[in-house]
């Protein structure tokens, strides 16, 4: 449907009133200019009737045209007026041609009514009117030419309105798409921030708490071990401050690089060392050069291992954990397995928390796959992630 026509007002307004008045005056002036009769029983009531009909042209353009043409035919054949067939109804013709829609074309109807009126006029002029064929042809030829110009102008105006409506709709659609894209990017940014805060803060508090517990247990019997635990807690706190500072820098200046590099795969050895305690032995095995892994994948690998080990410390009660990172053949594979006790009942992966959900979002954003749940061949929990790295051959 033509949207410009669909939303066009259908009730008379001031412009319609002025157009009706101008039409009535124009019919009288045109009759006088063409040497026709101006009397109270002919030209005047016809002019008023044609003007009044235009007040309904927006709602019923075809009916207005038919009634206007009928009025002209009645007044001409009754001898009440003697000038004009098409031109007194010019506004009605133009209104129907310009008001056409895809489901209700107006231009063909206007052309058909015009041809029918001219055909009737030709027959009437040469028979009842007593005009010579040459004279009738000259008179009606001018009116036919006027009708063609009128309909062409109305069609051009209609097409111009449609073009403006289509352009406005395109601009509106583009604005809506841009708004949706902006909302999507904001949502993605919020998820990224939430994941970073959860991973950094959660891991830091877990490791600091773990080292403080070691300090408390070793303070009397092994002061050196207590001091080492405190040093580890301080190191973890400093790393968390650097990560948070980098995150704040990105939020303040999104187009700039962070002031300090984010955590990545090369820092996994330090991460494992900080989380290793006398009660939890963590082994790390890597294959390939982790230093040349692309930054987004490197960060994702670090966060997956970090969150997995944090969950092991918090919930598993494990004594041993194994971290395996392999890169090659265009992908990276990360596996974190522990021998801890898993909660009874349904698989906890069916109702993931923020940490597991964040890992899944990171992996899926990079086109990878993540599985997490009870290990099938042994007790404990297993997290496995596969991240594609197209074209990467370490």
pLDDT at 115: 92
pLDDT at 139: 79
Below-50 pLDDT ranges, the chain: 1-7, 258-261, 343-351
pLDDT at 6: 45
Count Cα neighbours of 369 within 13 Å in the Cβ-side half-sphere.
3
Residues whose CB is less than 8 angstroms from the CB of residue 193 and which lie 6 or more positions away in sequence, other chains included: 247, 251
For the segment 89-100, what is each residue's pLDDT rounded down to a tens digit? 989 998 888 876
pLDDT at 2: 47
Assigned architecture for domain 263-394:
2-Layer Sandwich (3.30)
H-helix or E-strand spanning residue 67: helix 61-77
Residues whose CB is less than 8 angstroms from the CB of residue 286 and which lie 6 or more positions away in sequence, other chains included: 268, 324, 325, 326
pLDDT at 349: 43
For residues 167 and 158, give the distance between their C-alpha atoms in angstroms, rounded to a whole number.
14
Indicate the domain borders of the chain.
Answer: 3-176, 263-394
For the segment 214-238, what is each residue's pLDDT rounded down to a tens digit? 677 776 677 777 777 777 777 766 6
pLDDT at 350: 42
């Amino acid at each position: 449907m033509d949207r410009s026509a669909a939303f066009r007002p259908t009730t008379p307004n001031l412009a319609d009133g002025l157009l009706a008045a101008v039409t009535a005056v124009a019919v009288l002036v045109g009759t006088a200019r063409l040497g026709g009769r101006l009397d109270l029983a002919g030209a005047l009531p016809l002019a008023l009737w044609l003007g009044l009909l235009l007040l309904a042209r927006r709602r019923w353009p075809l009916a207005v045209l038919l009634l206007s043409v009928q009025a002209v035919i009645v007044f001409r054949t009754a001898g009440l007026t003697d000038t004009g067939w098409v031109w007194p109804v010019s506004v009605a013709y133009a209104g129907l041609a310009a008001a056409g829609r895809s489901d209700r074309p107006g231009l063909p109807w206007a052309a058909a009514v015009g041809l029918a009126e001219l055909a009737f006029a030709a027959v009437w002029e040469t028979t009842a009117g007593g005009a010579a064929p040459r004279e009738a042809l000259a008179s009606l030829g001018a009116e036919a030419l006027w009708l063609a110009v009128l309909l062409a102008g109305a069609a051009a105006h209609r097409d111009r309105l449609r073009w403006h409506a289509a352009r406005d709709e395109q601009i509106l659609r583009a604005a809506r798409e841009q708004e949706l894209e902006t909302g999507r990017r904001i949502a993605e940014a919020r998820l990224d921030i939430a994941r970073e805060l959860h991973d950094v803060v959660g891991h830091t508090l877990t490791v600091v708490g773990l080292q403080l517990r070691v300090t408390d247990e070793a303070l009397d019997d092994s002061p050196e071990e207590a001091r080492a635990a405190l040093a580890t807690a301080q190191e973890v706190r400093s790393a968390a401050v650097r990560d948070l500072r980098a995150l704040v820098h990105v939020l303040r200046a999104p187009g700039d690089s962070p002031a300090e590099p984010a955590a990545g795969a090369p820092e996994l050895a330090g991460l494992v060392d900080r989380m290793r305690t006398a009660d939890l032995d963590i082994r790390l095995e890597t294959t390939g050069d982790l230093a040349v892994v692309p930054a987004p994948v490197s960060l994702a690998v670090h966060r997956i291992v970090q969150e997995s080990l944090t969950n092991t410390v918090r919930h598993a009660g494990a004594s041993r954990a194994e971290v395996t990172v392999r890169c090659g053949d265009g992908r990276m594979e990360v596996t974190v397995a522990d021998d801890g006790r898993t909660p009874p009942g349904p698989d906890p992966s069916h109702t993931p928390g923020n940490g597991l959900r964040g890992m899944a979002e990171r992996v899926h954003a990079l086109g990878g796959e993540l599985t997490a749940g009870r290990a099938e061949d042994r007790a404990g929990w297993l997290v496995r992630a596969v991240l594609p790295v197209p074209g990467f051959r370490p």
